[in-house]
């Protein structure tokens, strides 16, 4: 703390101050009343999150502060490749320089506010962000892989009627570092609890990734870069409800990761009731965007599809899906539904699932039936809603 004599209640360095002593003028040889303040070292100006700067901007900052440009590379490696959370741990940076960094920047890393483990080994993390908001991420273990299910937004704005996350108001987009940190956390948990590496990443958590386009792609860039986590883009899947213009933008941007579409019906009227976005991004428009995607990338798409009792469990529904699958090379994941209340959505019968398998198989469509994991901790598909 700093003591100073001043006529203002703010230090010249921008810190808050409060009165601790007033000395009357008769003790001060006619100088007038002197007011002494205690100045606390909490800046009124917010510090910048250092991870918001790219490497070039870091170099500029170091040069402006009379430091060697190579310091930027050192700090960048600490932040991204080694996922450091504290300037004090940057051991190849001098103490004065670390203090200089601390005086200008913060590292707004995430914190696991609560971790739950399922009977099947699934781990759900309630992740606290720097502003106190919470998102959820999930580690999904199987015999052959460990997958990180990652959130991209706080809440969601798309109002899918069957999804718990849709009941949450969208508060904001996640920053690239907040997305990146979720992956780092699950990577560490995979090593700690399973002694195995993280193998796959799916953007199927809270929020619509394409409505946070810039930050999601920047985060994936860090995740796949040699100076980041160095993961292969082929092991990353981005799932979208079908924002058609942004599917085309993905193709134009020549992304290398995989694309999945949350479909759930290939009949416009039904899909619009399930997913209101279908009213402005119809199946015809989605088909056009997917043709464009395939023409640019030559990569098949995965359709994520839940079959509900009495809603889309009839032959006409399966045949419509089989027809939609002919638009471009594709495969279908039939996903077990996880009820979020006692509402109208209930898992279809095994006979209905078998019907889908038969019809899709007859049209040479590859189909996988995905069993839910983490249901006992509300970590399964469609259940993420900050209930932990």
Q: How far is CA 201 from the centre of its chain?
A: 11
Q: Determine which helix (DSSP H) or strand (DSSP E) holds 335, and give its type and residue range.
A: strand 330-335
CA distance 259 to 303: 9
26 to each of 32, 118, 159, 331, how far by Cα in Å? 8, 74, 71, 88
| Best CA proximity match to 163, nearest among 216, 128, 206 | 206
DSSP letter string, 283-304: HHHHHHHHHHHHHHH---EEEE
| Best CA proximity match to 125, nearest among 340, 379, 338 | 379
Active site residue 381: yes
| Best CA proximity match to 317, nearest among 273, 281, 381 | 273
Q: Report the DSSP beta bridge partners of residue 297.
A: none
Catalytic entry in 149, 156, 160, 381: 381
Task: Quickly tell me which residue has 């606290």 as its tokens.
Answer: 128
CA distance 367 to 358: 10
Task: Name every residue whose Cβ is closer than 8 Å to that of residue 208 and which is 6 or more positions away in sequence.
Answer: 152, 153, 156, 157, 158, 240, 241, 243
User: In 5-35, which positions are buried (b, 16+ CB within 10 angstroms) versus exposed (e)?
Assistant: eeeeeebeeebebeeeeeeeeeeeeeeeeeb
Active site residue 227: no
Catalytic entry in 11, 39, 136, 178: 136
Which residues are the active-site residues? 136, 381
């Amino acid at each position: 703390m700093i003591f100073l004599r001043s006529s203002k209640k703010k230090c010249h360095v921008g810190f808050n101050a409060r009165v601790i002593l007033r000395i009357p003028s008769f003790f001060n040889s006619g100088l007038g009343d002197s007011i002494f303040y205690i100045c606390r070292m909490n800046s009124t100006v917010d510090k910048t999150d250092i991870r918001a700067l790219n490497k070039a901007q870091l170099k500029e900052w170091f040069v402006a502060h009379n430091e060697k440009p190579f310091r930027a590379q050192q700090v960048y490696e600490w932040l991204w490749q080694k996922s450091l959370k504290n300037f004090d741990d940057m051991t190849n940076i001098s103490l004065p320089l670390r203090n200089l960094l601390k005086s200008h920047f913060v590292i707004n890393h995430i914190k696991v506010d609560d971790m739950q483990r399922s009977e099947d080994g699934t781990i759900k993390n309630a992740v606290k962000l720097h502003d106190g908001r919470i998102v959820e991420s999930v580690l999904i273990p199987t015999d052959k892989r460990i997958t990180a299910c990652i959130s991209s937004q706080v809440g969601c704005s798309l109002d899918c009627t069957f999804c718990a996350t849709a009941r949450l108001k969208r508060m904001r987009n996640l920053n690239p570092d907040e997305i990146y940190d979720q992956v780092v956390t699950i990577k560490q948990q995979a090593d700690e609890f399973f002694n195995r590496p993280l193998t796959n990443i799916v953007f199927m958590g809270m929020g619509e990734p394409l409505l946070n386009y810039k930050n999601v792609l920047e985060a994936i860039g860090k995740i796949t870069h040699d100076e980041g986590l160095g993961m292969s883009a082929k092991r990353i899947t981005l799932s979208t409800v079908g924002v058609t213009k942004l599917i085309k933008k993905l193709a134009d941007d020549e992304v290398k990761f995989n694309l999945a579409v949350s479909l759930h019906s290939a009949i416009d009227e039904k899909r619009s009731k399930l997913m209101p976005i279908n009213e402005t991004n119809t199946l015809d428009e989605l088909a056009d965007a997917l043709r464009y995607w395939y023409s640019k990338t030559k990569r098949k798409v995965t359709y994520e599809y839940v079959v509900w009792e009495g809603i889309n469990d009839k032959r006409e529904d399966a045949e419509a899906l089989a027809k939609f699958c002919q638009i471009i090379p594709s495969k279908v994941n039939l996903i077990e539904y996880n009820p979020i209340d006692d509402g109208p959505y209930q898992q279809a019968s095994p006979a209905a699932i078998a019907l889908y398998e038969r019809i899709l198989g007859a049209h040479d469509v590859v189909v996988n039936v995905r069993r839910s994991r983490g249901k006992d901790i509300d970590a399964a598909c469609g259940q993420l809603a900050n209930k932990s």
